[in-house]
A and B are shown apart, each in its own frame.
Chain A
Amino acid sequence: MTLGTLIVRNLRRHTFRVTLTAFGIATVILAFNLIVTTVRAWYAGVEASVPNRLISRHAASLSIHLPLAYRDRIATLDGVTGVTYANWFGGVYRDAKGFFPQFAVEPASFLDLHAELSVTEEERQAFLSDRRGCVIGHRLAALYGWKVGDVIALKGTIYPGDWEFVVRGVYRGADAATDETWMLLRWDYMNERRQQIDPDRAGTVGWYVIRIADPSLAGSVSRSVDAEFANSTAETRTETEQAFQAGFVAMSGAIIGALKLLAIVLNGVTLLVLANTLVMAVRERTKELAVLRTLGFRPRHLTALVTGEALLIAGLGSALGIAITIPATYIFGALVAAKLGNFFQHLTLYSSTLLLSASVTLCIAVCAAAFPIMTILRDKIAEGLRHAG
């Protein structure tokens, strides 16, 4: 026999109570994992940012465009090794739920600067040679069953009218963080239609993507770009791609903050549930624990007994919670996709999220054990032996 034997036997005294507690913890872990997965999906763009790319946009607002002529001036600045540009297209497929990111881009330079969007040379050439062509992400293609050669009809919102694009390529992300739900269409095709319907805004771009020689030059190149267009009618604001993406996330700061707070509250619930179970268990065994102390068990032995019990319950709850989380995330992802389309393209359950939830729960178990341990060690042995419970 070991102390572990006693811990396991103690747990088996109240199987129902322990099971309920473990299920409670599992439920909290499930909720925690879904929240963390959702928050991580929000930050996916930030995580996928490339450190040697800058974004330059209008200083006043992203909705105000910049002249196309800036491209050549930016390209000549020190530290700049490439420039491309894009516009947010904002079309709708079928209905409002059919939302996915669409960018009107200059195809050759955009693909050059975004090496993480992997297309075959054949697909690249097809895209470059077809003004109505487009390249779509693998996940987007899978979602709608699109393949090369298919025609995608979009209804323009920013650029009104019916638009048709021919799929010329399907890109795959270089890693798991790469967004595979984009649709890249050709800026020149969009601009051509814009000259007819909105000639005042023709020849402008939403933002520039600037590749720099070294990430350490980000600050100086950003300042150079902004200085280049200072005191003009279209001043720029240049920042790293990561900061640019983080700015989008910050727009949802209140929601993300609330979700993070909720995750903390959930862990507080685990603490209370577990502490309650342990306090009940220890109170029932006040006399037995006093007997153990009479036999010579030291405070560290009693601490090990109670903490071991807490860790075992938390471990059971964690294992159960993780087992539930895996299919639940899949279902959650499907439900979110049905409601929000591709808003969360990266609703992916990472093993690090599972590890985080289990680690947090085990840490909480140690904290929860502290309450009853303090009670045991504070009580006098003689009083414990007189305990009637």
Chain B
Amino acid sequence: MNQPVVEFQRVFKSYFRGEQEIPVLKDFCLSVPQGQFLAIMGPSGSGKTTILNLVAGLDRPTQGTIHAAGIAVSQQGEADLARWRARHIGFVFQFYNLIPVLTAAENVELPLLLSKLARRERFKHVQAALGLVGLSDRIQHYPRQLSGGQEQRVGIARAIVSDPTILLADEPTGNLDRSAAQAIMALLTRLHQELNKTILMVTHDPQAADYAQEILHFDKGKVD
């Protein structure tokens, strides 16, 4: 068994609405080995996205420790976390979240601006990433000129261009039709199988979850 690349140790997470505490994670434990493709399923508001946010250090646990890609995420400062994210985390969003004023290539290049790569090197990486997702012919297209499925593929190319340790996907097919969703899932499966990427995917969709190696059913802050 591989060493865990993501580990939640007795994590509690609550949100506060005024004085009212809304618990989301209760004594949550999770261990994801390197190279696993894990799907997290659960109803809306069950805390699925919170798990991804905590792994990426976008949010902090109320209690407990989270380790991911070699660091205790919950104990890092903002600037250190940002540097770590740039190196180890790729994030795929439900609504793609591409920058509308940048072309596909420029959107994919964004994470590489934080590296020390020269312009020419960056462009090679961008071409490779867009080639991997099958969009070599859409390099100069703006997001508005792409279909939803193509936008999501650009989003995936942006997530993998810096070769991160962990790929986090938040409802990656939630905004796509069936055929586009299948193509995206096939792509994620390929990334997992060919590049041995560790993937944590949150989804509502059982058909999407079927592509994963393992499925975690999650409800009311706990694993079912």
Interface residues of chain A, those whose CB is within 8 Å of chain B, are: 1-3, 5-6, 9-10, 12-13, 287-288, 291-299, 301, 380-382, 385
Q: Does A9 contact B59, Cβ atoms closer than 8 Å?
A: no
Interface residues of chain B, those whose CB is within 8 Å of chain A, are: 53, 56, 58-59, 78-79, 82-87, 89, 91, 93, 97, 99, 101-102, 106, 109-111, 113-114, 158
Give the residue name and chain of the A residue nearest to B49 (CB).
A382
Known: A1-B102, A6-B99. A296 touches B111 (CB 8 A): yes
Which A residues touch B53, using CB under 8 A?
Answer: 381-382
Q: Does A298 contact B79, Cβ atoms closer than 8 Å?
A: yes
Which B residues touch A6, using CB under 8 A?
Answer: 99, 101-102
Known: A295-B111, A296-B114, A299-B82. 19 other contacts (CB 8 A): A2-B113, A6-B99, A288-B97, A291-B99, A293-B82, A294-B58, A294-B85, A295-B91, A295-B110, A296-B85, A296-B86, A296-B89, A297-B114, A298-B82, A380-B58, A380-B59, A381-B53, A381-B59, A382-B58
With contacts defined as CB atoms under 8 Å apart, how many contacts are there between chain A and chain B in the complex? 68
Nearest chain B CB to A121 CB, angstrom units: 69
Nearest chain A CB to B124 CB, angstrom units: 14
Q: Does A294 contact B101, Cβ atoms closer than 8 Å?
A: no
Nearest chain A CB to B142 CB, angstrom units: 10
Nearest chain B CB to A268 CB, angstrom units: 31
Known: A294-B85, A294-B91. A299 touches B79 (CB 8 A): yes
Q: Does A299 contact B93, Cβ atoms closer than 8 Å?
A: no
Which A residues touch B59, using CB under 8 A?
Answer: 380-382
Assembly CA distance A288 to B100 (angstroms)? 9
Q: Does A291 contact B85, Cβ atoms closer than 8 Å?
A: no
Assembly CA distance A381 to B91 (angstroms)? 13
Which A residues touch B93, using CB under 8 A?
Answer: 291, 385
Known: A296-B85, A382-B53. A287 touches B97 (CB 8 A): yes
Nearest chain A CB to B8 CB, angstrom units: 17
Selected A-B contacts with CB under 8 Å, 13 pairs: A1-B102, A1-B109, A2-B113, A6-B102, A9-B102, A12-B101, A293-B82, A294-B91, A295-B91, A295-B114, A297-B82, A299-B78, A385-B97
Assembly CA distance A317 to B83 (angstroms)? 36
Assembly CA distance A345 to B109 (angstroms)? 59
Give the residue name and chain of the B residue nearest to A288 (CB).
B99
5 A-B pairs with the lowest CB-CB distances in the bound complex, closest first: A296-B86, A9-B101, A381-B58, A298-B82, A382-B59
Assembly CA distance A30 to B114 (angstroms)? 40
Give the residue name and chain of the A residue nearest to B60 (CB).
A380
Q: Does B110 contact A292, Cβ atoms closer than 8 Å?
A: yes
Give the residue name and chain of the B residue nearest to A287 (CB).
B97
Nearest chain B CB to A376 CB, angstrom units: 12
Which B residues touch A382, using CB under 8 A?
Answer: 53, 58-59
Assembly CA distance A298 to B102 (angstroms)? 20
Nearest chain A CB to B114 CB, angstrom units: 5
Which B residues touch A301, using CB under 8 A?
Answer: 114
Q: Does A1 contact B106, Cβ atoms closer than 8 Å?
A: yes
Q: Does B158 contact A295, Cβ atoms closer than 8 Å?
A: yes
Which A residues touch B78, using CB under 8 A?
Answer: 299
Nearest chain A CB to B62 CB, angstrom units: 14
Assembly CA distance A382 to B56 (angstroms)? 10
Which B residues touch A295, using CB under 8 A?
Answer: 85-86, 91, 110-111, 114, 158
Assembly CA distance A12 to B101 (angstroms)? 9
Which of A13, A287, A294, A380 contacts B56, CB < 8 Å?
A294
Which A residues touch B91, using CB under 8 A?
Answer: 294-295
Nearest chain A CB to B64 CB, angstrom units: 17
Q: Does A298 contact B83, Cβ atoms closer than 8 Å?
A: yes
Nearest chain B CB to A374 CB, angstrom units: 14
Assembly CA distance A297 to B87 (angstroms)? 11
Nearest chain B CB to A6 CB, angstrom units: 7
Assembly CA distance A5 to B113 (angstroms)? 11
Which A residues touch B113, using CB under 8 A?
Answer: 1-3
Assembly CA distance A167 to B148 (angstroms)? 86
Q: Which of A1, A380, A381 has the most CB of B within 10 A?
A: A1
Nearest chain A CB to B145 CB, angstrom units: 15
Assembly CA distance A328 to B110 (angstroms)? 45
Nearest chain B CB to A384 CB, angstrom units: 9
Give the residue name and chain of the A residue nearest to B114 (CB).
A296
Give the residue name and chain of the B residue nearest to A301 (CB).
B114
